Amino acid sequence: MKIVFKDAAMYQNGRITSGDLFLSDGMISDPFLRPDFVVDAKKYFIFPGFADVHVHLREPGFSCKETIAAGTAAAARGGYTRVCAMPNLNPVPDSPEHLEAELSIIRRDAKIRVYPYGAITVGEKGETLAPIGEMTEAIAFSDDGKGVQSDEKMEAAMIRAAALGKIIAAHCEDESLLHGGYIHDGAYAAAHGHKGICSQSEWGPIQRDLALAKKTGCAYHVCHISCAESVELIRQAKADGVNVTCETAPHYLALCDEDLQEDGRFKMNPPLRSRGDRDALIRGVLDGTIDMIATDHAPHTAEEKSKGLAGSLMGVVGLETAFPVLYTHLVRPGIVPLERILQMLCDNPCSRFGLGISGILPGTPADFTVFNLEQSYTVDPASFLTMGRATPFAGTKVFGQCLLTVCDGRIVWRDKSVLTMPEEL
């Protein structure tokens, strides 16, 4: 099958250009004559498939919250063709055998590419270092959901990871500073009688880990940063030559604790912080301190998210709303250029984590997503493909509708009500 997307805007080599995209039997092709099918793409933008280095697909162990089939279908609908799955599962992927339990489901059910993390410590308990060197199919190592509390254990993990050329991706949280908190320790918590989480519980472990990364030479990645101090510490560390990257999430860039409501869909870890923290994150996006945007897609059951801010479990979903939220809140108002957002969703995660080529290049399998950026809609969790429904953006108007996602030359999502084209490439 030979297909042409005619007169599209495309992101290539860091720039938005206009032209035609040629596909031949699922491969990006050089220009040809006599296509079998032409897509009028004048209103569309074509981007490389997005990559998310921080998602929770909940299998094995917690399929009442999410499955790999549902989570990857949601990712495809959001424009993603690559995701990295966190290890807080049952069994925890802390050995080759436990990792294989997850890989077998990925091979069977995943709609897109899924790269699993291995755990840093056995059972993510922070006590015994997992056999990192034996888990060769792990994309990186993390105890996400828990911070490694021991300096000695983190240093040992970094030494081992550095020897193997692997990344340590850290959920940075000092449990001794939590004091039962569950939202940001700011004005909203004080006004509504909630227990707060101080910012130092995040930036303190980052400060420790940056010193250890410098000492060991480990490739270090900081998960879901949320506060101004974290941005500045990472900015300084990069200037000092530390091998560090970091991510933040769409909700930290679009919202702050002033937007909180008494609803579990606003509860995540780390929490939404102050307006000043959000502004510092945006500055970090603009100056390159923050390398990538990850969703921390974390589905829970409706019951688990129905107990308000105090009683609900931490975590919100985000794969189906990430790009529209970023485009609506940051790009359309002129705060962040579209090219910068795409660099953080495509180029940087693929480069840092070794997820393959991010680009629309002749001779490579088709791997891209198509959006209508002028199409607006209201976020309706009832329409999600993920099993999770908790999002702080429910009921909000966003711009940017995903029409098509192609992964490895296969159509993995198509909005059939809008885009007319063959079922297969």
| 311-362 tens-digit pLDDT | 999 999 999 999 999 999 999 999 999 999 999 999 999 999 999 988 899 9
pLDDT at 228: 98
Cα dist. 394→309, 323, 325, 349 in Å? 16, 15, 11, 27
Q: Which residues of the chain have pLDDT under 50?
A: none
Q: Is the separation of the CB atoms in 289 and 231 below 8 Å?
A: yes
Give the fold, CATH level 3, of 2-46+363-414.
Urease, subunit C; domain 1 (2.30.40)
pLDDT at 80: 98
Write out pLDDT tens, residues 259-304: 999 999 999 999 999 999 999 999 999 999 999 999 999 999 999 9
Domain boundaries defined on the chain: 2-46+363-414, 49-353
Annotation marks residue 380 as catalytic: no
pLDDT at 268: 98
pLDDT at 302: 98
The answer to whether the Cα torsion of 29, 34, 39, 44 is positive or negative is positive
The one catalytic residue among 209, 277, 291, 296: 296
Burial (CB < 10 A; 0-12, 13-18, 19+), residue 339, is middle
Q: Are strands 15-24 and 2-12 parallel, antiparallel or unpaired?
A: antiparallel
Q: Name the residue among 396, 397, 377 with its Cα closest to residue 77.
A: 377
pLDDT at 184: 98
pLDDT at 381: 98
Cα dist. 6→38, 377, 405 in Å? 7, 25, 17
368 vs 135: CA distance, rounded Å? 30
The C-alpha torsion from 276 through 294 and 324 to 342, rounded to 10°, is 100
Across 313-383, the runs of DSSP E, i.e. the strands, are 368-378
Contacts of residue 207, Cβ cutoff 8 Å, sequence gap at least 6: 233
pLDDT at 250: 98
Q: At what angle do helices 68-77 and 96-109 cross, to 10 degrees?
A: 60
Burial (CB < 10 A; 0-12, 13-18, 19+), residue 34, is exposed
Contacts of residue 5, Cβ cutoff 8 Å, sequence gap at least 6: 20, 21, 23, 39, 41, 44, 46, 370
* Residues of the chain above pLDDT 90, percent: 99
What's the whole-model pTM score? 0.98
**Domain 49-353 in the same topology as domain 2-46+363-414:** no
222 vs 292: CA distance, rounded Å? 10
Give the fold, CATH level 3, of 49-353.
TIM Barrel (3.20.20)
3-class SS of residue 152: helix
Q: Is the separation of the CB atoms in 325 and 275 below 8 Å?
A: no
